[in-house]
A and B are shown apart, each in its own frame.
Chain A
Amino acid sequence: MTQVKTGTTRTPQKSWRVVDIVVAAVLAAVCAVVFWAWANLLYPVATTAAVAYPPATGLIGGGWLIAGTLGALIIRKPGAAVFCELLAAVLEGFLGTHFGWTVVISGLVQGAAVEIVFLLTRYRKFRLAVAAAGGAMAGLFMGVSENIMYNFEWALDQQVVYASLTTLSGAIIAGVLMWLVTRALQKTGVLNGLASGAARR
């Protein structure tokens, strides 16, 4: 029963343990809090941008997308990106920086974007390039979905500018930066016990 298990295969375990679920949920919560602080910090800048040239706000849009890639990189389970991004989006709504139940749509769409990228690697690759692609995809989905839902009155070229900027912002903030964060987290030891932190013997 409690014998040493030998010869267990190292294939990634797909099912969610309690610790995976709870860490994912708390991760979404902390992303929401960080986003809230980020929005507070940038409020003057973001408002100025929104008044002067709205598509420019796409450049800081990646901040809204961090939960999806971070969730995928840390939890490494199918569905992690969608769960984290959706919950983070709803909690950000609770904290009062974004409003309305459209956050559910945004969370699902953006989470799914990241999920697609990691699904293509069959949840085996968590390299920088994959993270950046995940972030970019989330940014692209974000730009396009917001163009459809909110910016439909804008001229088409402005919509293209907006979606390009969210894609870029997603790749950098939600992709590259979150990959670096994950690597720094691994060094602190807090990820021990999770798929992303398991040290090798």
Chain B
Amino acid sequence: MSVTTIADTARFSPVGRSNAVIKLLGALLITAVLVVSADPVTSGIALLGQLLLLSAAGQKPLRLLLTLWPITVAALISGWGTAMLSPEGGTVLLNLGWITVTTGSLAAGAAIALRGLAIALPGITVLLTTDPTDLADGLAQTLRLPERFVLASLAALRLVEVMVKEWSVLASARRARGAGNDRGPVGMAKEFGGQAFTLLVQSLRRATRLAMTMEARGFGAGKRTWARVPRYGRVDLYTGGAAVLIAVSALSVSVLLGTHRFIWQ
């Protein structure tokens, strides 16, 4: 799969070698700035900065956006939705009764699409360049989140792949019983519900067995040690610095230009 190949090259890049916690915190910082800001300048600069960082990590930004087209499409759709529903005035460009698109609302929509894309990227970057085990180690050891919950989540994450496979097996197993004949929304909803219920039952059985395995291996009995230590080095300084730079420059440039606007303004 294309996403996996991207992930393979990404993990060995400088960003990929950075500590998971640094990446997460950096991504959260950029996200926080973007979430509270409504103007296109902040989003634009943050987006540009992130694309530059991704190129430094060995990615071709445009190809990435094409491969992950659902995100791009989702951003465009949300932009369109805003263009339709924004009360901004201006020259009317399109009038279809309930839909009125004006120059003002179109600008608002474009800003939203840009912002959506910029918000999506930190998630993608961390997802593509981070091993979940390393992230869990960092969350529990560096950020001191409750270790039992972090480790159980990590174990559950491993089962996601099993569940996705099981989902397609369930579809044929049910077809073999003659289920799923009814077309139309009600029939489809029923069939979906039945399939989901069976997956739920199987997963809960698995969960209880997994809990038994973990308990038998002494999980949750008391203080534990860690076989792996999260490592911090020079590369983290660069990655962390880059994230801070992106967040701060996006905000400050927009403020200096007088374009900055908070979402509540």
Q: Which residues on A are within 8 Å of B, measured CB to CB?
A: 16-19, 21-30, 32-34, 36-38, 41, 47, 50-51, 53-55, 83, 87, 91, 93-96, 99-105, 148-155, 158, 181, 184-185, 188, 190-191, 193
Contact = CB atoms under 8 A, between A and B. Distances in A.
19 contacts: A22-B155, A22-B210, A23-B208, A26-B206, A28-B156, A33-B164, A34-B199, A37-B192, A83-B149, A99-B71, A101-B126, A102-B31, A102-B119, A149-B263, A151-B82, A152-B38, A153-B85, A181-B200, A191-B204
Interface stretch (B212-220, B224-232, B250-258): B212-220
B175 interface: no
Nearest to B156: A25
Given A18-B215, A41-B192, A94-B127, A30 B199 contact: yes
B48 interface: no
User: Interface size class for chain B?
Assistant: 35 or more
B148 interface: yes
Contacts of A151: 82, 85
Interface of A is mostly: helix
Given A50-B77, A150-B78, A26 B210 contact: yes
Contacts of B184: none
A146 B207 CA distance: 32
Contacts of B163: 29-30, 33
Interface in B70-87: 70-71, 74, 77-78, 80-82, 84-87
Contacts of A94: 127, 157, 160
A18 B98 contact: no
Contacts of B112: 150, 153
A182 to B, nearest CB: 10
Contacts of A37: 167, 192, 195-196
B82, B119, B149, B264 — most chain A CB neighbours (10 Å):
B149
A31 B49 CA distance: 34
Given A33-B164, A41-B188, A149-B35, A18 B159 contact: no
Given A18-B219, A94-B127, A190 B208 contact: yes
B211 A19 contact: yes
A8 B109 CA distance: 62
A100, A151, A181 — most chain B CB neighbours (10 Å):
A100
Contacts of A103: 123
Given A30-B203, A54-B81, A101 B157 contact: no
Given A37-B167, A87-B153, A21 B148 contact: yes
